[in-house]
Structure 1
Amino acid sequence: MLDRPVRALLERPVGALAAALDRPGITPDGLTLVGLALGVASAVAAATQLWALALVLWLVSRVLDGLDGALARRRRADGRVSGDSQAGGFLDITADFLVYGATVLGVALGATAAFDAPWQPFAAVLLAYYVNGAAFLAFSSIAERTGRQLDDGRSLSFLGRLAEGTETIVVHSLWLILPFWSWQLATAWAVFVGISAVQRMVAGYRALR
């Protein structure tokens, strides 16, 4: 829901950061891998109740997740990289799914140990993520084959709905800032993401008919 306006708002500062990082030895895939490592480290920190460290690692990993695509687009624009960087797009979305899932698990482990929180809301979030991922990845694949791509500058055709990347970053951050309320937040988030999953299923089906 918020990805498009937030991307427009951050386009200039993200572009400036990408320009500063545009140096020999720094690659978009390298940024993706560093972001992946920091995201997994955030999940481990959350599981061991190091909430402040987990928050910092999570936010830095998400900044790098935004910079890898910006750096790739910058290098394609001036001709230093040819093609659509399909491999980079694949690596990026795979890393995102791994980081999101690991973070949910890490917060669940930390909150159940520290605050006796129930695990079921976090399991519901993972289920909702699974359905959302299946919906938009299947849509992107079929849309590519049938010439019905949704081109917003990213490697995949994203079906934007209520829960997108921006909302995910905010909610995961809130879990780490307010871990004692994490399962309540997870309950609401599971409903929110579940509604988005249904929306994507319906929108994808209609778009491909």
Structure 2
Amino acid sequence: MTGFDLDGLTTFLSRRSDDIVDLVVDHLVVVLISLALAAVIGIGLGIAVRNRRFARSAVITASAVAITIPSLALLALLSPVLGLGWTPTVVALVFYSLLPIVRNTVVGLREVPVSVLEAARGVGMGSARVLLTVQLPIAWPVILAGVRVAAQLTVGIAAIAAYVAGPGLGEYIFKGLSSLGSKNALNYALVGTVAVILLALLLDGIFVLISRFTTSRGLRA
């Protein structure tokens, strides 16, 4: 791989700016789609198993074991079944996002004080209303923290999905690694890597703002 050349990098960026923007948008879109699906599945699972000891342990353990599977291996297994591109990428990202979301949902719901639940039931609230108006709002900061962790995971793993022709910035990273010694090898790898890092920081900042504006003032204090 050739050494770093600032002028060469500037020229590289100016000539490929449109392509880079498209890759950033694709990367962000696939992350957001996967994160939305994982949040629906993960929060739903967390709610379903929160009061069932065996089911809770089984779901969390299965999610923890699943996340130890190397991402390249999972993508290689998915590609013969789901093909290349967006579909295996989304499935893999949802797969890796479930653990922090399920775990934080269970923890957040189970940490709601018993006295608060008893008071809610005492004024005539049913189970569904207690969940929606008491438990979930109180557990929300913990649940959102899990989604925030999942977002960081998906941004990084989405880059690896270029292995199965997945969308996003991984295309540049793989192109740089596969063309070692060429003029733009370092530029491809550097631009792809830095863009992934910046995208991760941007998403994290967005989640900080979401947490601030969707968490009640009493819980923030």
Instruction: Answer whether TM exceeds 0.5 for this pair.
Output: no
Return the index of the structure with the highest Cα Rg: 2
TM-score (norm 1): 0.38
TM-score (norm 2): 0.36
